[in-house]
Structure 1
Amino acid sequence: MPVTWSDDVDAIIGGDLTCGLACLTPAGGAVVTSVSPFGIRDRELGTVGFTTSLGFGRKLEHIRDDPRVALAFHAREHGVGDRPDPRFVLVQGEARFDPHPDRATLDEIGTVSEPFMGAPKTGRFWGRWLHAYYEDRVLVTVTVTRVLSWPSSNAEGEPEVFGAPRPEAAAAPQSPPKKGTGPRVDAARIGERAARLPHLLLAYRDADRYPVVAPARVIDADADGVRLRVPAWVPPGGRRAGLLAHSYRAQLVGLESRQNSGWLEVTGTEAHYAPHTEFGFRAPANKTILLLANGFLARRGLAKARKEGRAAALG
């Protein structure tokens, strides 16, 4: 039977402008990035969706290689509907997508995005410039395995569970990477940047091999790593983990995102994070400039994906 969820949870899934997407990596870790769900869901079928572009990032490749994903609905800013509910909602399931959506799907994406993003730019110039951004959109549909809902944004305590029960045993610690567990990039700078952004998410692989996303908070950072405050249910020990710090304004204008992969050591509600890779960007605070930048990045990203054969490999 399809997994369904409560009206309160549905209002959050249907109203948040952005959510955190966690995908699994071949090495047994997880990466987390922000995506736009635009309220796409079907409670009768037990599905939740989001959109992305063939020209942005490698999330579709992660999904192709392992469809198990998690979506963390963690921020109420700039969404639609009544927004005071502070709860943290985590959706876990298996994702699928068509890398070559038909015209009807693209039109549907445009329709559902308007309440969140405003009407799309039209005209000869914008049609050509934003072709890769608008026309190469992909709809990702997640068949839900479980939904977890905590009453507060810090996800403390026991969640309400819809669908499959949570794993009974905590995820076992992982073997350290061959290159060591220490930082490979500037941990102090990464911690300082993450501390000034309002949203911080941590992702790892759970005992049932689904990714989990937890809210986190920076305590301090130095050359040895970033100290974090995490919920008590994050499993103890060491493991590969992803970190996302981000902020955004209405219609995603002024979006800033700082993404890392690295090694996590957890003791109680404190964790030590050693970043191994970093990726980040800051979008312009002006919507016209933002669209110009989106068009350029999408065109460049799509051209690179095609040149490297990654776009063709998706199907």
Structure 2
Amino acid sequence: MAAQQHEKYYVPASSPWPIVGAVALGLIAFGAGHTVIESKNQVDGWGTTVLFTGLAILVVMLFGWFRDQINESMSGLYSNQLSASYRQGMSWFIFSEVMFFAAFFGALFYARVIAVEWLGGASNNAMTNEVLWPHFEAMWPLTETPGGTTTQAMGWMGLPLYNTIILIVSSFTCHFAHVGLEKGNRTQLKVWLGITIVLGCIFLYLQGAEYVHAYQDLGLKLDSGVYGNTFYLLTGFHGMHVTLGTLMLIVMFFRVMKGHFTHDNHFAFQATSWYWHFVDVVWVCLFIFVYIL
């Protein structure tokens, strides 16, 4: 009786990229915090420099790690068992991202449904209302802070609506590119993938324009109370995810141009497609709960 043959499982060598990524994220967090403080106090500092240094290191880390993964894959080192591990890993990663945004949506709902109503005197809480915030009106968006600073709410028409349409369309273009890859139609793959990347870049540009409009015209800032906090945290973190997704799509585009992927071996592209659809769904939820309701 012949001995059972076991498939070899490739174990990659030690990589410097995780620690490089950790340093980048640390610099981003540190620099972002100091940038906000310096902006609020209207002083010059090195917060912005640290922030952009972290972002630059993060981009280098992403492309370096992608390069190593691509070289391993194209060298034929991966097996079916490892491919299954990658699928499980990407699935759990997206699940963790779902929980990440669920926490921020939970904070938004708590502020709107519980905290604001409580400050407004709900549940026989009129005395606390008068002590903590006299003459407070329970409303959302909460466009006034306890210190008396007022702002304007960001409406859903205009840039937010345009960005919603752009991301929804980009989901379809990404799907058409995936279909082209599965059918072996490289032209369809390249065209629709390129369009998806352009739409992602347009979204990021318009979100930047929206932030400029919010700061300069509406007075909506990070220190604009709980409304400003939740607005920028939810939309800002989503913008970071769109940026990452766009970088991933760009890497996939370069790989496609080099002839990588076949109809039965393209998990890297498939994982990127999953991620892009995920950020699109998150934005639709943001558009409804942050801008419209």
TM class, shorter-chain normalised?
Answer: under 0.3
Structure with the greater alpha carbon radius of gyration: 2
TM-score after normalising by structure 1: 0.22
